[in-house]
């Protein structure tokens, strides 16, 4: 073409969580049975949606209005309901006008960064959830700016590092948190959250908190929302979703809760631009929005969340125990979300390591992929070809640390145990092969 139409940030649009599937699918064609541990889809892994929840949705489908457009900003009764839920926490107070619905949080993230000034940067965690890190990098045209989550400190951030980065880089307009965190399963307490709010106030920054897993939280202190700590000065946004807590990942329904919108004219104008962008799309999908008040108000919803959290807490502990005493790795027991991150110790992996792959066609297929692969990606490819277990390399989460992420979603207890025993054994075998 006579003009280059490729966006300057196109090379940053990488989503390894899905891309590893392309490799797995080709290995399936070569005779391997694949165990997909790459993506957080509870339904795909066998979790059943409660009958009462299905009855709510099926009842709404029978109503003609669930087939119609809804308000651009989101279904008004649902926004009023959710605003009331926020206000009942006793922190920052909002109205229905402070909520914006999107077709999933992937859509919301694309809008957040797509309509942000190119020169404005958002400092996010490393390891980072790929959708967010890729979107921020693509919007700016540079590598995602990050602060480190430290496995030696239970994947908590170094607040001094965060403050130094915002102090000496005035392109940073905001700080991003993921709480509970994906991929590490770390959960931040109120003390840490308030300190980050204080940094934002001191340096005139906005604060964004991804609360996708807010109610998949089995820590001692339980769920903590941004609204409870942000106060009345710092502008901010909480990213919420039904994907993981109903769970209804295929519903593609997420929303923003905006705080202190009118305390800063620049932030207020920015939020208006997000709404203006939504106007061009008419609205987000009506049905799941309509379901939220009925599901949240159902007498079985809180017990449903409690049962799920008890289940994931038990699995998180059991999975972590498999790696106890295993040399060469650091594994921190998750306290929220439904993933476990295995981090290899520094300089443990090298390009001479390998696993025996019995399927020779599979071995031949992965060899070209290994040539330029990062050390943890080499392990992931060997693991996939030798066992069929599909995990995501930690290097795909915008970090220099080697490791991988695996889910806690397998419903079959026997298979769950097999997955984690196999991971432990293959890590030992791989390191010993050097």
In a domain, 3, yes or no: no
Q: Do 310 and 292 reside in the same domain of the chain?
A: no
56 near 296, Cβ under 8 Å? no
Q: What are phi and psi of 236, to 5 degrees?
A: -165, 170
Structure confidence at residue 20 (pLDDT): 86
Close Cβ partners of 359 (under 8 Å, ≥ 6 residues apart): 30, 31, 32, 385
Number of domains the chain contains: 2
| CB-neighbour burial class of residue 376 (10 A; exposed 0-12, middle 13-18, buried 19+) | buried
Q: Which two tokens stand for residue 146?
A: 């990050």
C-alpha to C-alpha distances, 155 to 95, 181, 229, nearest whole angstrom: 34, 9, 21
Structure confidence at residue 18 (pLDDT): 62
Distance CA 92, CA 86 (A): 8
Q: Which two tokens stand for residue 314?
A: 């038990």
Q: Do 23 and 40 reside in the same domain of the chain?
A: yes
Q: Do 211 and 140 reside in the same domain of the chain?
A: yes
Distance CA 220, CA 216 (A): 13
Distance CA 38, CA 390 (A): 6
In a domain, 63, yes or no: yes
User: Where among 257, 281, 297 does a domain terminate?
Assistant: 297
For 280-291, letters b (16+ CB in 10 Å) and e give eeebbbbbbbbb
User: Where among 262, 282, 297 does a domain terminate?
Assistant: 297
Q: Do 306 and 284 reside in the same domain of the chain?
A: no
Q: Do 103 and 221 reside in the same domain of the chain?
A: yes
| CB-neighbour burial class of residue 236 (10 A; exposed 0-12, middle 13-18, buried 19+) | buried
In a domain, 155, yes or no: yes
Distance CA 61, CA 309 (A): 29
Q: Do 390 and 340 reside in the same domain of the chain?
A: yes
One digit per residue, pLDDT tens: the chain, 434 residues?
A: 666 766 665 655 555 566 788 999 999 999 999 999 998 999 999 999 999 999 999 999 999 999 999 999 999 999 999 999 999 999 999 999 999 999 999 999 999 999 999 999 999 999 998 888 888 888 888 888 999 999 999 999 999 999 999 999 999 999 999 999 999 999 999 999 999 999 999 999 999 999 999 999 999 989 999 999 999 999 999 999 999 999 999 999 999 999 999 999 999 999 999 999 988 888 999 999 999 999 999 999 999 999 999 999 999 999 999 999 999 999 999 999 999 999 999 999 999 999 999 999 999 999 999 988 999 999 999 999 999 999 999 999 999 999 999 999 999 999 999 999 999 999 999 999 98
Structure confidence at residue 3 (pLDDT): 67
Close Cβ partners of 383 (under 8 Å, ≥ 6 residues apart): 355, 389, 391, 404, 423, 426, 430
Q: Do 320 and 244 reside in the same domain of the chain?
A: no
Close Cβ partners of 164 (under 8 Å, ≥ 6 residues apart): none
Q: Do 124 and 140 reside in the same domain of the chain?
A: yes
User: Where among 244, 275, 297 does a domain terminate?
Assistant: 297
Query: What would the 3-class secondary structure string for the chain be?
Result: CCCCCCCCCHHHCCCHHHHHHHHHHHHHHCCCCCEECCCCCCCCCCCCCCHHHHHHHHHHHCCHHHHCCCCCCCCHHHHHHHHHHHHHCCCCCCCHHHEEEECCHHHHHHHHHHCCCCCCEEEEEECCCHHHHHHHHHHHCCCCCEEEEEHHHCCEECHHHHHHHHHHCCCEEEEEEECCCCCCCCCCCHHHHHHHHHHHHHCCCEEEEECCCCCCECCCCCCCCHHHCCCCCCCEEEEEECCCCCCCHHHCCEEEEEECHHHCHHHHHHHHHHHHHHHCCCCCCHHHHHHHHHHHHCCCHHHHHHHHHHHHHHHHHHHHHCCCCCCCEEECCCCECCEEEEEECCCCCCCCCCCCCCCHHHHHHHHHHHCCCCHHHHHHHHHHHHHCEECEEHHHHCCCCCEEEEECCCCCHHHHHHHHHHHHHHHHHHHHCC
Structure confidence at residue 5 (pLDDT): 60
Q: For the chain, how far is it from start to end, CA to CA, in angstroms?
A: 49
In a domain, 2, yes or no: no
Instruction: Give the domain CATH number at 211.
Output: 3.40.640.10
Q: Do 288 and 307 reside in the same domain of the chain?
A: no
What global pTM score does this model have?
0.94
Q: Do 275 and 354 reside in the same domain of the chain?
A: no
CA Rg value for the chain: 22
Q: Do 106 and 190 reside in the same domain of the chain?
A: yes
Structure confidence at residue 2 (pLDDT): 65
Instruction: Give the domain CATH number at 331.
Output: 3.90.1150.10
In a domain, 4, yes or no: no
Range of the domain at 261: 51-297
Q: Do 338 and 351 reside in the same domain of the chain?
A: yes
């Amino acid at each position: 073409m006579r003009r280059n139409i490729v966006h300057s940030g196109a090379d940053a649009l990488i989503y390894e969580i899905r891309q590893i599937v392309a490799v797995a699918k080709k290995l399936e064609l070569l005779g391997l049975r694949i165990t997909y541990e790459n993506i957080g889809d509870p339904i795909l892994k066998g979790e059943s949606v409660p009958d009462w929840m299905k009855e709510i949705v099926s009842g709404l489908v029978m109503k003609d209005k669930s087939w119609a457009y809804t308000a651009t900003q989101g279904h008004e009764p649902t926004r009023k309901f959710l605003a009331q839920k926020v206000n009942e926490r006793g922190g920052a107070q909002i109205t229905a006008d402070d909520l914006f619905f999107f077709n999933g949080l992937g859509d919301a993230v694309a809008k957040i960064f797509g309509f942000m000034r190119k020169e404005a940067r958002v400092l996010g965690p490393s390891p980072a959830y790929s959708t967010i890190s890729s979107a921020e990098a693509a919007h700016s045209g540079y590598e995602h700016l990050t602060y480190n989550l430290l496995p030696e400190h239970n994947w908590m951030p170094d607040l001094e590092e965060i403050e130094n980065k915002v102090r000496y880089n005035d392109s940073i307009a905001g700080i991003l948190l993921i709480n509970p965190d994906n991929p590490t399963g770390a959960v931040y307490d109120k003390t840490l959250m308030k300190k980050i709010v204080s940094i934002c106030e001191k340096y005139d920054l906005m604060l964004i908190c991804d609360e996708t897993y807010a109610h998949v939280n089995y820590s001692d202190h339980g769920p903590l929302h941004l609204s409870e700590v942000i106060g009345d000065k710092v502008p901010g946004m909480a990213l919420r979703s039904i994907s993981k807590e109903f769970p209804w990942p295929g519903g593609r329904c997420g929303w923003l809760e905006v705080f202190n919108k009118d305390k800063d004219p620049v932030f207020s104008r920015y939020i208006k631009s997000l709404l203006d962008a939504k106007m061009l799309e008419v609205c987000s999908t009506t049905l799941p929005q309509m379901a939220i008040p009925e599901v949240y108000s159902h007498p079985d919803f809180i017990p449903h969340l409690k049962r799920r959290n008890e289940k994931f807490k038990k699995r998180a502990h059991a999975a972590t125990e498999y790696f106890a005493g295993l040399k060469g790795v650091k594994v921190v027991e998750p306290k929220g979300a439904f993933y476990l991150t295995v981090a290899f110790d520094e300089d443990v992996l090298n390009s001479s390591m390998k696993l025996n792959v019995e399927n020779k066609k599979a071995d031949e297929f992965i060899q070209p992929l290994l040539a330029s692969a990062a050390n943890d990606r080499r392990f992931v490819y060997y693991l996939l070809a030798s066992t069929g277990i599909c995990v995501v390399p930690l290097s795909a989460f915008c970090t220099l640390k080697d490791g991988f992420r695996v889910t806690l979603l397998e419903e079959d207890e026997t298979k769950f145990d097999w997955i984690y025993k196999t991971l432990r054994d293959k890590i030992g075998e791989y390191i010993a092969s050097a």
